[in-house]
Amino acid sequence: MTTRRSSASPFRLPQWAIQLARSQHDPFLTKESRMRLVIALASTNVTKGTGGPFGAAIFECRTGQLIGIGVNVIESTNCSHAHAEMVAIAAAQQAVGNFDLGAVGMPKHELVTSCEPCAMCYGAIPWSGVRRILCGARASDAEAIGFDEGAKPKHWVAELNKRGISVVRDLCRTQAVSVLQRYKAGGGRIYGTRRTR
């Protein structure tokens, strides 16, 4: 994981997550290897009881260099927007010293996430500067265990494509879904379910 300026994040990650990321051998040359790291983050977050069943990371698209990681830390931070994607984006922006991961002169970055983004994370993606998103499980998989993913445009992938952000779905989906199901089966807390009826 790079530390160009500061690897500090406005969100406090569990120590095991930082150690897991540091133990990895850069670069991650394939999309699948990047997704496997993210699923490992989500799975370990469940096993360690440190948060929800979601993991994410930011990589340089071309080199596969890991820039920042995130896991869901809503409960430990008492912060409703501490979703894995938001934590990973914040960590990466801190690491590169720029709020725009798509700034002129910067390499292209991608967000790799164990589950498709919810409405909030979807909204943050265009402003983050990432140029590609790799998704494991689908939003419907998270909803199947009780999570509320919020209101996104029906054609959200096409909307991101219009902004020059490509989306790859269903990458290692089976493995990503198994983390969600294990979380539910283990009695994991399902939060953010205040749907308006």
Banded model confidence at residue 22, pLDDT cuts 50, 70, 90: confident
- Cβ neighbors of 11 (< 8 A, separation 6 or more) are 70, 73, 77, 79, 82, 86, 87, 90, 91
Query: What's the whole-number mean pLDDT along residues 145-171?
Result: 96
Banded model confidence at residue 34, pLDDT cuts 50, 70, 90: very high
Is residue 85 part of the annotated active site? The answer reads yes
Query: What's the whole-number mean pLDDT along residues 3-7?
Result: 42
Token pair, residue 130, equals 């990432």
Catalytic, out of 60, 85, 110, 149: 85
Instruction: Name the pTM for this structure.
Output: 0.92
Banded model confidence at residue 7, pLDDT cuts 50, 70, 90: very low
**pLDDT at res. 6:** 40
